[in-house]
Amino acid sequence: MMTNTKLLIVLLLLLLAAFAALTVYSIGAIVAIFLVAMLSSFVISPVVDWLESRSMPRALASSIMLLLSLAAFMVVAYFLAPFVYEQVFALQERVSFGEMRRSIPSMEREIVNTLSFLGVKQLHFTTKIEDFVGGLFDNVLNIASGVVGLVIFVVMTLISTFFLLKDGRKLKKAMIEIVPNQFFEMSLSILHKIDWSLGAYLRGILLDASVIGVVTTLSMWLLDIPNFVLIGLVAMVANLVPYLGPPTAALVASSISVITLGDFSQVPLILVTFTLIRLLDDSIVQPLTISQSVKLHPLTIIFTILIGGQLFGILGMLFAVPIAGVVKVVASELYFGLKRYRAMY
């Protein structure tokens, strides 16, 4: 039976969690800058550590990495953004004026005839695809119009990343300094373990997503599927969402193929390729990049995605699972850390 003190602690923790969630929700942009900076510093810090081990001052190593990151971002933006924009534009052209207009209605008729026993009469494929691709195009335009906001976001994130890289250890030391003596060693141990596991987890999911992005792009290019870069990018980002991500990427690739060719001839090949990529990810890439201890239960993943989508839309769905992974890492390190020290005092 739960004692009153334990009940009070649980209630306080729930209140604290609710308060934290509310704060995150209300100052989303600032939290986003901090989160991206923290994520970037976790990813970059091994390189800064390596440069430091080669006798380079940490401030200089952090500056170099910051400039390199900025250069990488600009290179990606310069070469990839127009390319992606062009591919989305071409896709929209195909939908509006291309062969799809002629082929889709006949395909729709075939499907309606086949499924007539289910009472299916009209599917409105053309309108639905036009709406979807049009929305995609609008989103690209919205991003372009919000370029000033994006630049501010990037600059602020880079500055925050620089300071987290340079003074991260000082920050941790300052944090631990205010902990009472009684809990000092325990806090230090837990903080270190969280730091280590979180870094490994974030680097892992990013590396996994990048590998899948590159493999998908190459596979689509080899299969001669148009918009292969766009599909690769979708696969990379979608890979952040387990279970739902890979089928979504396969669906996007199949849709592009159908829109372009006007038939389903390449769809089976695309589906087989995506299944093979999935197998490659599950059997080789993920075991090498992501620790098994951070794996979440499928039910947790589904509810996390639903909550993320409900709170923050598409972006919420994308980042819900990585954030849940982070929460799991922090919670499990806290739990095991406290358990190890439970006999104390």
Partner 1 sequence: MSEEFESRNPQAGTPPHEEATFLWSNFFQRDREKDILTLLRGIPIFEGLGRSQLRAVERILHRRKYHAGEYIFREGDPGLGMYIIEKGEVSIVSESRSSEISRLGKGEFFGEMSMFNDRPRTASALAYEDTKVFGFFQPDLLSLLETRPSIGTKVVMMLSRILAERLYKAGQENARLRSELFMRDNAR
Using CB under 8 A as the criterion, which residues of the chain lie in contact with partner 1 when the complex forms?
49, 52-53, 58, 169, 173, 176-178, 180-182, 184-185, 188-189, 192, 196, 340-341, 343-345
**Residue 246 near residue 238 (C-beta atoms within 8 A):** yes
**Residue 111 near residue 123 (C-beta atoms within 8 A):** yes
Q: Which CB atom, from 49 or from 93, has the smaller least distance to partner 1?
A: 49
Q: Which CB atom, from 51 or from 323, has the smaller least distance to partner 1?
A: 51
CB of 186 to partner 1, least distance (A): 8
**Residue 219 near residue 269 (C-beta atoms within 8 A):** no
Q: Which CB atom, from 184 or from 335, has the smaller least distance to partner 1?
A: 184
CB of 183 to partner 1, least distance (A): 11
CB of 163 to partner 1, least distance (A): 17
CB of 341 to partner 1, least distance (A): 7
**Residue 293 near residue 167 (C-beta atoms within 8 A):** no
Closest-CA residue to 220 (of 262, 273, 263, 259): 273
Query: In angstroms, what CA-CA distances link 107 with 21, 104, 141?
Result: 47, 5, 31
Q: Which CB atom, from 127 or from 181, has the smaller least distance to partner 1?
A: 181
CB of 189 to partner 1, least distance (A): 5
**Residue 202 near residue 183 (C-beta atoms within 8 A):** no
Q: Which CB atom, from 187 or from 210, has the smaller least distance to partner 1?
A: 187
CB of 266 to partner 1, least distance (A): 49
Which residues have C-beta within 8 Å of that of residue 258, sequence separation ≥ 6?
100, 107, 264, 267
Q: Which CB atom, from 103 or from 187, has the smaller least distance to partner 1?
A: 187
**Residue 310 near residue 325 (C-beta atoms within 8 A):** no
Closest-CA residue to 321 (of 243, 225, 224, 227): 243
